[in-house]
Structure 1
Amino acid sequence: MPSPRHTPPSSPASELAAEQAYLQRARAELARMREHTLSLQADGGDAVAGEVLAHTLWLRARALQDDPRTTLFFGRLDTDTPERLYIGRRHVTDGDGDPVVLDWRAGVSTAFYRASPAEPMGVVRRRRFGVEQGQLTAFEDELITGGEGADGEGADGEGDGTPGGSEILAREIERPRIGPMRDIVATIQPEQDEIVRADVSTTICVQGAPGTGKTAVGLHRAAWLLYAYRDRLSRTGVLVVGPNRAFLEHVGAVLPSLGEITVRHTTVEELVAHGQVRAVDPPAIARLKGEARMAEVLRTVVWSHVRPATEALVVPRGARRWRVPAYEVQDILDELRGRGVRYAAARAMLPHRLAHAVLVAMERAGDAPDDAVQDSVARSAPVRAYVKALWPELKPQAVLHRVLSSGERLAVDQRDMVWDTPSRAPGSARWSAADLVLLDELTDLLGRTPSLGHVVLDEAQDLSPMQLRAVGRRASTGSLTVLGDIAQGTTPWATGSWEESLAHLGKDLGADGVHLEVLDRGFRVPATVIEYAARLLPLMAPGLGAPRSVRSHPGRLDVLGVDDAVAGAVDAAARAARQEGSVGVIVPDAWVPDVGAALTAAGVEHEVLDGEHAEERILPVHLVPATVAKGLEFDQVVVVEPAAIAAAEPDTRSGLRRLYVVLTRAVSGLTVVHAEPLPGPLAGEE
């Protein structure tokens, strides 16, 4: 049974002490659970089963490891029954199996996030705890039923713009960001919780403005699905796909902090790594190779290898020669092509279909062949040679080499364009990143790509149609959580609509089980910063509403005109580094060496996030190329030379979108340093 009610101590201080004592009890019970798991013997009956069981027990013990930097619970519900429910990051029980802490993902925990006076869900009081370094420092009560008011250390306020009027909730949201992204289990809002707890069969696309928590929502949905559908998803798997390694390193600690350590994190480039990238396409060629019509081109090329039957199949067997006429063979070919199976699967069926036709001829002649005879005919040299001539075995690299070498022409921008012909044989061709996506498409055309149970795709608006197809086939029999912001699309092929993107992912927006959700309440970006960045929206994303910041603190915005942008960036970074939290110095990609050298010369220790390598991010100051900033967050952000950041993109719209992204990385304060004139909408105020 959950913890029974007891008479509260007479003062807030003594009650806080009682809650801290309960936390110590919960930690002791978690340690007991882990010790019990470690004591179990991995005896599975044989070596393989024993190894599997040992691995399962190891995973269980790792999931039960306590993190002294945080608490096992962050909230409490007093219900209209004699029960008190503590809500935390994982389920903790006592020696009798009764719950001490309830997992935030449990059904009964839903009320912690959604209960309101209009819909109390059986809750009388909701308590939130303030936490510092693993200790409870305050509590705050919200009466859901039975009256108004609050009590406790740091009682909640009203009408201050914070979510639910909660000071503790506001402090948690605005806590300085040092290190990787944290989980948000203590601050999930009702509209976020509805997305998190969506059924496993549902594909959800989340259009989320900067700071609305869409990435965290997607990760928490993965954690909830693994809790609610453990058996199913442990077999089929869950995958998180992000834009680059820096982003994945930033978010990689969230799921392990929630006890989920088996989820794989990858980028689209790693997902389709059928070889090394050793060539770079010009932007127009890369865009062409990423268009959806390439899928039809590749499909046509693959199936064009199946040749028409012009000669009969003749199979000698003993003293007889059995013959299958060409028209009958053609019927078999047409039937296999029309079944909707992959090229290689249909090819594997062909020998058996031909052997069956031979057996039918034998039976007509009065023989009585059995299955062994059919298998023998299917494996015979004449049948193998005949199949090879009509339906050759294909390799993805050879097919793509043929496509790129054959002078295939496609209309682009109302003119024809031909890609460069590979100068080497298929086995040693220098593939580009776009070529690897095409190889992934070909691999699926030849043999079906296995589907996972659920895929979380972040920054989806930046993927080409062919990249979206590559991700979608990994969830062909599963579901997706698609996260992004149309206004942050910065690639030449950025998504124009979520309906289009979902179609490329293999999901039909509007169909049962496919929904679009909009998050527009910003919890990360302060109001002054988001309002400044939103000046760009009318030019780069007409019709898209501006996000609303619900932060209690308006944040800081400084726009500094300087003579030397590099020197100005160093000064701004040095000032920001003296404040609490992380600092991101976001610069045009080409400026990274110069700014890095200037920071070093000024004694400002920093790390460079290059997007390709996961950094430990030990130092508080990070030098970030503008193209890597998407998805990251820092307490203090210094944006250097906005005009140069925008000009580095191939067109004005993409440049403004890139600028919108980098301006919205700040959690507390933003400093814009510029020597050149600011792009139009930003030039209104200095």
Structure 2
Amino acid sequence: MSVQSAFQDEAERIDNVLGHIRNQLRAIGPRYTGDDFTEQMLDLQNEQRRQRLEVAYKEPYFGRIDFQEPSQLSPRPLYIGKAGVAHESTNELLVIDWRAPVASLFYAFSGGDAPVAYESPDGEVEGTIHLKRNLMVRNGKLERVVDSFVRGQEEESVTDEFLLYRLGESKDNRLRDIVSTIQQEQDRIIRTEKNKAVFIQGVAGSGKTTVALHRLAYLLYRYADRIRAERMVIFAPNRMFLDYISGVLPELGVGDIVQTTYAEWALERLQKEVRLDEASDTMAYWFEQPRSREEMERAPGRIKGSMQFKQAVDLKLEQLEASLLPQQPFEPIEGLVLLPVAIREWLITDYSGEPFMKRRERLVSRLKRWLESEWKARRYTDRKLKSKANAKLNAYCKKIPSFTAAQLYSSLLSDEAAAHMVPGGIRSATVKGLKQNKVQPEDLAPLVYIQLRLYGLDQPVYDHIVIDEAQDYSPFQLESLKLCQRGSSMTVLGDLQQGIHGYTGINSWIEMTALFDVGESGYFELDRSYRSTMEIIDFANRVLGTMGEGVKPAVPVFRSGEPVDVEEAASNSDRLERIVRTIRDWQNAGSYRTIAVLGRTAKSCQEIAGRLATEGLEAVLIQSKQEAYGGGLTVVPAYLAKGLEFDAVLIADADSHSFGGNDAKLLYVGCTRALHKLKLLYNGTITQLLAASTDAHS
């Protein structure tokens, strides 16, 4: 079949499917506004169906495979889309949901004549693929048809043509779904079973964030009878990043998933009894001037986030548990005695699974009931005697210790076990802050861990947890989140090569995978970068050099672009002038929808933004507490750009003063923000990190 004929056939089918979707949307009718509960539930189902159909109407499907089972006389075309669509009369599937078992063939098949198979609810189904086709549909119109496999065709494979077409598109201010271009290695992660902690080491641009979001959508589809969206949670590094990824899940027809930061979540669990010290800007401290690796290793976040510190917390909790067991008998009335052995039995047997303070609460209630029961059984009537008995009960209960998380944490910091790990100055500053209800970010993990051990979770357990940029988490943070699940169902993703927060994060994934029993976790590596051109990725890889992080360098897809530019400025004034000139040139070219100027520090970015404003160039200056990214022209410190991506990136101060020998990861992060164009400027001596990346200093 000719290309033109195939396009015409597919265009006609698109029109036909859109007609069926319109009919079904009209049939749903208006929303129900009455009070009948049954009708309300039906209306909710109709609304969910309406939303799925509206998603399908914009892009009914993006892929087609012609699959033939051995029992069939001819192959059957299967169309894959974001939402399944059935014929309104016959229930024939017009579009298959991308999460359905058979749809896995579309992602897993990469060519060849060998039989293929997929796992259906009834077992393995084998067959052969005759055609694999990608389709681009926008606003109901077919724009592109690409056949990546035709059985019997002798021509060279064009498997990556559609992917490269999508990767070459300009970027806006939101992360997009990748459901039409999910690659085989990504699909394998997405479809991993629910009851595992899945760790993803993914290089910059490997799609690990979108893979995690698609995994949530898949799990909701695959385990619809066991998990719920409102019992899922996504942890992102900051509010701006949450805004950036906010459009992916709605496009996949998924809503109601909690999206937050660890700090916000922890403060909520602590019932806002403490607050972060606003006067202390942790990121500014570590990034606004060079810091040695040794200093980072001794940082409070490294100490308080370690498993050694968790062991000190566990020891303190064990001591608390021991103190819950009274050593003296309870004798509220002469001759009426409750021995400690009986109280221990209640605690150890009846309440053993309860959090500490709930066990205390239950014990106090049990003592009250025991006294009341004995009073009635012995037919006491003396009110004064009862008053004295109740006073003795209150005095006895006060001897059973009661703590808030902050109180126990403060007490811990004065213990010998903590003194051996935490320097005296840090301990005293932490205790002083706790008295004012102020804490540092590194205090949140031990505090919320103590809170959960003392009082338990104040909400249903999570069905699934996603942690993005997890290389910047401490093991103790992960331990605190484990308390919020009955089993292990997590997607933990990050990139050790982008671990710029060395004052709190991990150096190896083993620090986290070791927290799970064998069989409870899985580890995947994504080393292909789909974001940047080959020139940009090769340049960024050379920036990292031989850091020995134990992970593979990024492998770019075959998408060539312009060379990376490195320019020397004669002075700071000349540097600022070159920034202005470059931005004007890029904007006039009209090829880039999103442009970023990356500075080393917030102060540097303020200077750049001020100069751009003077020149009439409207730029958004991103600061540490930014909640949204609006696209267009942006000025941002490199350490706040992680997770974002832009059509073109200008790194404004690639000199030796701004980027020292310990800043390779930070410069790597900056370089890998660029999709299509990367330029670096420096004034003075070029950073030694670029010595292996370029011979041109102008």
State the TM-score, normalized to the length of structure 2.
0.82
| Residue 502, structure 1, aligned to residue 513, structure 2 | yes
Match of 2:559 among 545, 552, 555: 552
1:296-319 Cα offsets, whole Å, 9 max, x none, are 333444454435524321245xxx
Is the CA contact (8 Å cut-off) linking 2:202 and 2:495 kept in structure 1?
A: yes
Q: Tell me the equivalent position of 1:264.
A: 258
State the Cα distance separating 1:415 from its structure 2 match.
Answer: 8.9
Q: Which amino acid aligns with 1:603?
A: G
State the Cα distance separating 1:64 from its structure 2 match.
Answer: 3.2
Report the 3-state secondary structure (helix = DSSP H, G, I; strand = E; otherwise coil) of the residue aligned with 2:511. Answer: helix
* Change in 2 beyond 3 A, CA 1:106/1:368: farther
Q: Tell me the equivalent position of 1:21.
A: 12
* Change in 2 beyond 3 A, CA 1:50/1:42: farther
Match of 2:304 among 289, 302, 317: 289
State the Cα distance separating 1:679 from its structure 2 match.
Answer: 2.8
1:446-499 Cα offsets, whole Å, 9 max, x none, are 122342111111110011223222333334434011111111111113212212
Q: Tell me the equivalent position of 1:193.
A: 187
Q: Which amino acid aligns with 1:92?
A: V
* Counterpart mapping for 1:131-142 below 5 A: 131=137, 135-142=141-148
Cα separation, 2, equivalents of 1:54 and 1:611: 43
Match of 1:311 among 307, 328, 332: 328
Cα separation, 2, equivalents of 1:64 and 1:611: 39
Is the CA contact (8 Å cut-off) linking 1:526 and 1:554 kept in structure 2?
A: yes
| Residue 87, structure 1, aligned to residue 87, structure 2 | no
State the Cα distance separating 1:584 from its structure 2 match.
Answer: 1.7
Q: Which amino acid aligns with 1:293?
A: Q
Q: Which amino acid aligns with 1:385?
A: N
* Change in 2 beyond 3 A, CA 1:420/1:468: same
Match of 2:165 among 171, 179, 187: 171
Is the CA contact (8 Å cut-off) linking 1:486 and 1:541 kept in structure 2?
A: no
Amino-acid identity (%): 25
State the Cα distance separating 1:196 from its structure 2 match.
Answer: 0.9
Q: Tell me the equivalent position of 1:127.
A: 133
* Worse-superposed segment, 667-676 or 299-308: 299-308
Is the CA contact (8 Å cut-off) linking 1:239 and 1:456 kept in structure 2?
A: yes
Q: Tell me the equivalent position of 1:493.
A: 504
| Residue 442, structure 1, aligned to residue 433, structure 2 | no
Q: Tell me the equivalent position of 2:336.
A: 322
Cα separation, 2, equivalents of 1:412 and 1:393: 26
State the Cα distance separating 1:89 from its structure 2 match.
Answer: 1.1
Is the CA contact (8 Å cut-off) linking 2:230 and 2:258 kept in structure 1?
A: no
Q: Tell me the equivalent position of 2:51.
A: 62
Q: Tell me the equivalent position of 1:641.
A: 653
* Change in 2 beyond 3 A, CA 1:82/1:477: same
Report the 3-state secondary structure (helix = DSSP H, G, I; strand = E; otherwise coil) of the residue aligned with 2:536. Answer: helix
Cα separation, 2, equivalents of 1:571 and 1:407: 60
1:90-117 Cα offsets, whole Å, 9 max, x none, are 1112212222211111111111111231
Match of 2:528 among 521, 524, 532: 521
State the Cα distance separating 1:124 from its structure 2 match.
Answer: 0.7
* Counterpart mapping for 1:380-391 below 5 A: 381=390, 385=394, 388-391=397-400
| Residue 345, structure 1, aligned to residue 386, structure 2 | no
Q: Tell me the equivalent position of 1:540.
A: 547
- Count of paired positions: 636
* Change in 2 beyond 3 A, CA 1:213/1:271: same
State the Cα distance separating 1:185 from its structure 2 match.
Answer: 1.1
Is the CA contact (8 Å cut-off) linking 2:65 and 2:132 kept in structure 1?
A: yes
Is the CA contact (8 Å cut-off) linking 1:626 and 1:658 kept in structure 2?
A: yes
* Counterpart mapping for 1:567-582 below 5 A: 567-577=577-587, 578=589, 579-582=591-594
* Change in 2 beyond 3 A, CA 1:345/1:409: closer
Q: Which amino acid aligns with 1:418?
A: R
Cα separation, 1, equivalents of 2:688 and 2:611: 29
Cα separation, 1, equivalents of 2:392 and 2:315: 26
* Counterpart mapping for 1:468-483 below 5 A: 468-483=478-493
Is the CA contact (8 Å cut-off) linking 2:249 and 2:255 kept in structure 1?
A: yes
- Give the RMSD, CA atoms, in angstroms: 3.4
* Change in 2 beyond 3 A, CA 1:228/1:518: same
Q: Tell me the equivalent position of 2:616.
A: 603
Q: Which amino acid aligns with 2:101?
A: G
| Residue 455, structure 1, aligned to residue 465, structure 2 | yes
Q: Which amino acid aligns with 1:550?
A: V
Report the 3-state secondary structure (helix = DSSP H, G, I; strand = E; otherwise coil) of the residue aligned with 1:556. Answer: coil
Is the CA contact (8 Å cut-off) linking 1:204 and 1:480 kept in structure 2?
A: yes
State the TM-score, normalized to the length of structure 1.
0.83
Q: Tell me the equivalent position of 1:31.
A: 22
Q: Tell me the equivalent position of 1:145.
A: 151
| Residue 101, structure 1, aligned to residue 95, structure 2 | yes
Is the CA contact (8 Å cut-off) linking 2:497 and 2:549 kept in structure 1?
A: no
Match of 1:613 among 616, 620, 626: 626
* Change in 2 beyond 3 A, CA 1:71/1:55: closer
Is the CA contact (8 Å cut-off) linking 1:533 and 1:663 kept in structure 2?
A: yes
Cα separation, 2, equivalents of 1:361 and 1:587: 74
Q: Runs of 5+ in structure 2 lacking a partner?
A: 69-73, 118-127, 287-298, 380-385
Report the 3-state secondary structure (helix = DSSP H, G, I; strand = E; otherwise coil) of the residue aligned with 1:500. Answer: helix
Is the CA contact (8 Å cut-off) linking 1:409 and 1:417 kept in structure 2?
A: no
* Change in 2 beyond 3 A, CA 1:257/1:495: same
Q: Tell me the equivalent position of 2:291.
A: none
Match of 2:598 among 586, 589, 594: 586
Cα separation, 1, equivalents of 2:360 and 2:542: 58
Cα separation, 2, equivalents of 1:477 and 1:56: 30
Q: Which amino acid aligns with 1:455?
A: I
Is the CA contact (8 Å cut-off) linking 2:309 and 2:418 kept in structure 1?
A: no
* Change in 2 beyond 3 A, CA 1:555/1:517: farther
Cα separation, 2, equivalents of 1:646 and 1:419: 33
Report the 3-state secondary structure (helix = DSSP H, G, I; strand = E; otherwise coil) of the residue aligned with 1:445. Answer: helix
1:37-94 Cα offsets, whole Å, 9 max, x none, are 4546477854xx76666555444433432487x5221111122245221111111122
1:517-564 Cα offsets, whole Å, 9 max, x none, are 111122212221111111233453344321211133244311111123
* Worse-superposed segment, 105-114 or 343-352: 343-352
Q: Tell me the equivalent position of 2:124.
A: none
Is the CA contact (8 Å cut-off) linking 1:641 and 1:676 kept in structure 2?
A: no
1:576-600 Cα offsets, whole Å, 9 max, x none, are 2332332121112321211111111
Report the 3-state secondary structure (helix = DSSP H, G, I; strand = E; otherwise coil) of the residue aligned with 1:28. Answer: helix
State the Cα distance separating 1:267 from its structure 2 match.
Answer: 1.4
